[in-house]
Amino acid sequence: MFSPFSRKLVLAGLTALALGAHAADKPNVVILATGGTIAGAGAGTVNSASYQSAKVPVDKLIVSVPELGNVASVRGEQVFQIASESFTNAHLLQLGKRISALAKQKDVDGIVVTHGTDTLEETAFFLNLTVHTDKPIVLVGSMRPGTAMSADGSLNLYNAVVVAGSADAQGKGVLVAMNDQIDAGRDVSKSINIKTNAFASQWGPLGMVVEGRNYWFRAPVKRHTSNSEFDIDKLDRLAEVEIVYGYGNVAAANAQVLAERGVQAIIHAGTGNGSVADRVVPVLQGLRAKGVQIVRAAHVPAGFVLRNAEQPDDKYDWVVAHDLNPQKARILAAVALSQPGDSKNLQRVFWEY
């Protein structure tokens, strides 16, 4: 027979063992914080659109959502504390290399990146192209600061950790968890501001997170992460690529001015099916003759650019961006042109990724 005191010791030991086993069953998720609205603060609870971003550090973000401990063992790192419109190529490289290093650790099952929404889609696509891992990498942000009524950041962060710690999210490339949806980092774009349903893909989400459970409906088919020919561990620079915007009465000199900065490629964000104004065509032809790659994209929100439709791309030796919007086309061109290759190879890359 155990004495009452001995019985308490045994029960305490069993409880500790059970808690330890439960903790061991939880996935280990690292949250890398970079700033943005999800780390923002407004002057009052009604300030959902006017606020200062990148104010709350990662440790306070984690503490503000205690439910995270129910789904994962979480730790955080503050990589940057900036608004995402200020991201540069150097930021992308630094972040990508840190994620790659973490993904190689046996004690890391998934990675969440908190990010401002303005360029979140660009960072997601960059990581999708360059980080060689099957472990889930999930980007998350918010449209309202945590100080606002109906702030969306807490649930978005919770859902992102759920996805990052899930075995069924492995091998699906870099993901974005926003507004209960799980989107492919390649496809998703910010399509509206102010509202919480800001992110969408014209091809639809991959799935949803509902009450801490993932529901999947489709899978990515383009090359990504472990299947990519690009490797962040071997990438120390990105090619200089700029975007020229097409519109009525556009000045032909715009592209020429950018080219004088020594860019390797110009993304022409055309109207409609990537259309190029007649007065701009000879400028782009001249730049191509000098070795600058020309990529036709479109600034319409959906659809894709058809090769040799609006312009004789074969004749001009131009590339089409397929369904990538101009900002994502810039990311892909910057990565692809960091290593040798001609326009035919660049077009192949745009078809495959």
The H or E element containing residue 153 is: helix 153-164
Tell me where in the chain the CATH 3.40.50.40 domain(s) lie.
240-352
Alpha-carbon distance 341 to 104, whole Å?
30
**Is residue 34 annotated as involved in ligand binding?**
no
**Is residue 117 annotated as involved in ligand binding?**
yes
Model pLDDT, residue 18: 40
* Tens of pLDDT, residues 42-58: 767 766 666 677 778 99
117 is catalytic: yes
| pTM (predicted TM-score) | 0.91
The pLDDT-based confidence of 125 (bands split at 50, 70, 90) is: very high
When mean pLDDT is compared across 9-18, 38-47, 284-293, the lowest value belongs to: 9-18
Phi (first) and psi of residue 76, to 5 degrees: -125, 155
37 is catalytic: yes
Alpha-carbon distance 119 to 134, whole Å?
23
What is the 3-state composition of the chain as percent helix, strand, coil, each rounded to the nearest 5?
35, 20, 45
**Is residue 201 annotated as involved in ligand binding?**
no
The pLDDT-based confidence of 214 (bands split at 50, 70, 90) is: very high
Tell me where in the chain the CATH 3.40.50.1170 domain(s) lie.
27-227
Structure tokens at 205: 């989400």
| Catalytic member of 34, 114, 117, 225 | 117
Residue-averaged pLDDT of the chain: 91
Indicate the fold that domain 240-352 takes in CATH: Rossmann fold (3.40.50)
Q: What percent of the chain has pLDDT over 70?
A: 91
* Tens of pLDDT, residues 153-171: 999 999 999 999 999 999 9
When mean pLDDT is compared across 29-43, 59-73, 181-195, 281-295, the lowest value belongs to: 29-43
The CATH code for residues 27-227 is 3.40.50.1170
| Catalytic member of 37, 119, 147, 196 | 37
